[in-house]
Structure formats: C-alpha cells, structure tokens
Amino acid sequence: MANLTRRPGAITRLLLLVTILSLAAFAQAGIVEDQTTGKPLSQQDPAILQGRIVISPVSAVVALRPGAPRLADRDRRSFPIEVRGEVRVRVESILPFWGATVEALVLRGPGGAVPPDRLLVRVGGEEAEFLPLSGRVRLVTGDHRSPVEEVPIEILFCPTWRDRPGRYEGRLLLRPAVARTVRSTITPYLTASGELRDKEPGKFKEQDLGETREIEVVFESPQVISIELSSDELHFDATAGVGIISANEGIVIEVSTNAAVWQVECRVSPLVSDEHEIPVSRILWERLNDFGNVVDSGNLADQPVVFEGRKHAECARATLRFKVHIFMHDVAAVYNGTLSMLGTPGRKHREKKRGPW
C-alpha cells in the first residue's frame, strides 16, 4: 500500500523535471527580441525555424524626386541635378552570421536600357558613401546578438548628358547573404533536430538563406541646359570716333544639355558710361568657329538666339564677338554692360532683320 502512495509523487516529480528541462532548452534556443519594435520573433515562424534571412521592404515601389543639389565632389560640368529617394528595409534572422545585399536588375529610360551604375545607394547616413550599383552592394550584416535591423537605403540617380529626359523605371534586388569571410567557410542550415550545421563547407548557396525581394524604382529625369561663360561683362572703347567697334574681348560660351533640340538666348543690359547710354538695339553679335570665321550673326534686339543645336551636347563651345554701332551724338567714352544667357529647349523661328541704322 505504501508503494502505491509513493508512486504518484514520483510521477509528479518526474513530470516537473521534464517541464523544467524543456523550459531550459527553450530558453537556450531563445525567443529573439525585436530590437526595433520590442515584439518577440516567435520561433514557430517557419522562416525563423529554418534559420533563414527574412527581408521585408517597407514599400515595393520607390518614387525618386529631382531637384537635389549635385554631390560636392562632382565636376561642375557634370549633370547638375540629382534624383533621390529613400526606402526602409527590415532584415531579420537567428543565424550565427547573416546579412543582405542590393543590386540593380534593370534600368530603362526613354532611350532604352541604361547602365545600372547610374543608380547609387547609400546606407548609414551622410557619413557613408554613395556606391554605384554596378554589382552587389552590402546593405547590412548581423549575427545572433543582433537578430533584427531596420536599414534606411538612399537611392540616387546620376544621369549624364547622354541620358534623355523623361520617365525611367528600374528594379532593385534585395538578396540574403552572409559576409564574404564567412561565406568561404560556412553555409549554415538547421537540421530536423534543430542543430546548425555546415552544408559543404567552402561552398555558398544563397537560395538556402532566404527569399529575395524586389523594389521597383520610378522617376522622371528633368530636361536641363547648363551654360558656362568666360565672362558676363562687356567693355567697349568708343573714344576713337563713329563706326562699328568690337568689344575688348570675346566671350566663350560652353553648353551642356540633354535636350534633343535647344537654343541659347543672349540678354545684354544697355551700355553705359559716366555721361551717356547706348541702347541694346545697337549691339551686334557674331559667333565664330574654331578657326575664327563668322558662322552666324545678328542684332541682339531682334535676334537674341546666339547658339543652338539639334542633339544633346556635352561641353559644346563657341566664341561670341560683340560689336556696337557708335553715332556722332554718342559721347566718346568707355562703355560697359552685363550679359546673361538663357537656355531653352526647342527652337524658335529666326528671321533676319536689319538694324535701325
């Protein structure tokens, strides 16, 4: 009878011991705390149970916006406007070592396929460097001590003058990965019993790490005309008498644009001295070729278009020579004026007109 009364107590103690050992094992395996939201990542999640890397972009489509200033280290003759956008990506895993990379799958614009290195990404804020997507770029790495990371990715499109303005569409691939140093030695996976083992050490199979994710990138690349001048001032020495005199020096103009058809208009202030003013209607212009020959000319009041083209231009140069008609009633003096250039897409009808003299 005594044996019968002791047996239930032994069974109870045995069940209690099994329960404690199970809890200890579960604690060792762990419920991983999400460092971002504070919510636990349940190990009952199939993706987590398999020891995979889970990538979750906040948005599947990113719209980039133009208008940001160019990077400080870029040449002043490069395309002056950059197109930017941002997307946040959540990466999580309980693998001993884990990470994620990004690469450009395709980028197409009005002119067809565009080299993917026109797209750049930056991870880590302003202190980090923008890297071209000519290959895979590392987004984040972690280990079992940091099972969850939220990564802001800045995306930058840097067009060239050869890239036509208009709508562009591209796709970025987010890929699970491990650090290269780890890749050469270990590709971990979980066995049925929950153990982490190497799968063919020295070989790396990304499909075993988790599913890839795609992000669509869309944006409008603006039409831009950039103009550089050797000087914005005109000086005429009109102390020698009446006639047509030339400015003291020519003005070199350099045009870069992605527009298919473009033109540049010149605007000049009236020429002034201490005692007299000469109107713009008496200022003439000539455009010279590389040999110093006149290839086009006009009067600034009626024909302000001094340079034009029918295709994109990258550092197209021309020399402009300005002249002024001096009359008897003009005061003999040195006259000064300022000029500016306005680039516009398209082409206006030009009609030659004679000046008022």
Confidence of residue 20 (pLDDT cuts 50, 70, 90): very low
Threshold 0.75, pTM exceeds: no
Structural contact between residues 118 and 178, judged by C-beta atoms closer than 8 angstroms: no
Q: How confident is the model at residue 269 (pLDDT cuts 50, 70, 90)?
A: very high
The residue-averaged pLDDT of 264-276 equals 93
pLDDT digits (tens, 9 = 90+) for 283-293: 999 999 888 89
Secondary structure of residue 214 in the 3-state scheme: strand
* pLDDT higher than threshold 90 for residue 335: yes
Give the model's confidence band at 9: pLDDT under 50 very low, under 70 low, under 90 confident, else very high: low
Structure tokens given for 12? 């109870």
Task: Please list, in sequence order, all residues whose beta carbon lies within 8 angstroms of the beta carbon of residue 343, skipping any fewer than 6 positions away.
Answer: 225, 226, 227, 255, 257, 262, 263, 264, 265
**Which residue from 87, 88, 97, 102 is spatially nearest to 37, judged by alpha carbons?**
88
What domains are there in the chain, each with its CATH number? Answer: 33-221 (2.60.40), 225-345 (2.60.40)
**For residue range 97-151, what is the model confidence (pLDDT) as tens digits?**
888 999 999 999 998 999 988 899 999 888 889 999 999 999 988 888 888 889 9
| Separation of alpha carbons 223 and 169, rounded Å | 17
> 321 and 283 in contact (C-beta within 8 Å)?
no
CA-based torsion, 199, 201, 206, 210: positive or negative: positive
Residues 291-310 pLDDT 10s: 889 999 999 999 999 999 99
Q: Are 137 and 131 in contact (CB under 8 A)?
A: yes
Q: For 43-62, what is the mean pLDDT?
A: 71
Q: Compute the half-sphere exposure of residue 253: CA atoms within 13 Å on the CB side of its CA.
A: 30
- Residue whose tokens read 């644009």: 257
Label residue 216 exposed, middle or buried (CB < 10 Å: 0-12, 13-18, 19+): middle
Contact 156/202 with Cβ under 8 angstroms? no
Average pLDDT, the chain: 78
Mean pLDDT, range 157-169, rounded to an integer: 91
Please enumerate in sequence order all residues whose Cβ is within 8 A of that of 22, keeping only pairs 6 or more positions apart, or say none. none
Averaged pLDDT, 201-222:
74
Buried b (16+ CB within 10 A) or exposed e, 246-271: ebeebbebbbbbbbeebbbbbebeeb
